[in-house]
Amino acid sequence: MDFFAIWMTKIYNVLVLIPKWLMFLLSGGVASLVLSLMHRPSKKTAVPKGVAKPALKSATTTPTSSNPTAIKNGKKAASGSQITPANTDSEQEILASPAKRTSARQRKIKK
């Protein structure tokens, strides 16, 4: 216990001589170093540099509808048209105009 107290007193006497702003910078630098060492990716899960990631396939199909301008405008096509594989729900949501956003207060008032 005496050994610990003596060394802590010596460390305190040295640290008191260093200005606070410099201690802040030094402690921040040490903390940044420790965090970067603790959060670096492990060697097992790291991807080797020589291995390339596979490219995504691009969609080259076009919608086959009787009224292609209606699809571009986000409107429903003529009543006789069908949904084709190229015209999925996600494409209809993208092509449709964005919904009007309302605040929580406006939604609360409507109730």
Is residue 16 situated within a structural domain?
A: yes
- 37: amino acid identity, one letter: L
Residue 2 has pLDDT above 80, yes or no: yes
Is residue 52 situated within a structural domain?
A: no
Is residue 84 situated within a structural domain?
A: yes
What is the extent of the structural domain holding 30? Answer: 2-38
pLDDT in tens, 29-72: 999 999 999 998 888 765 666 666 656 555 555 555 555 555 55
Average pLDDT, the chain: 73
Give me the number of domains the chain comprises.
Answer: 2
Residue 85: DSSP 8-state? T
Q: How crowded is residue 25: how many other Cβ atoms within 10 Å of its Cβ?
A: 11
Is residue 59 situated within a structural domain?
A: no
- 58: amino acid identity, one letter: S
Which residue, 67, 100, 102, 96, is CA-closest to 81? 67
Is residue 55 situated within a structural domain?
A: no
Is residue 111 situated within a structural domain?
A: no
Is residue 8 situated within a structural domain?
A: yes
pLDDT in tens, 75-84: 555 555 555 5
* Contacting residues for 96 by C-beta, under 8 A, at least 6 apart: 74
| Confidence (pTM) | 0.34
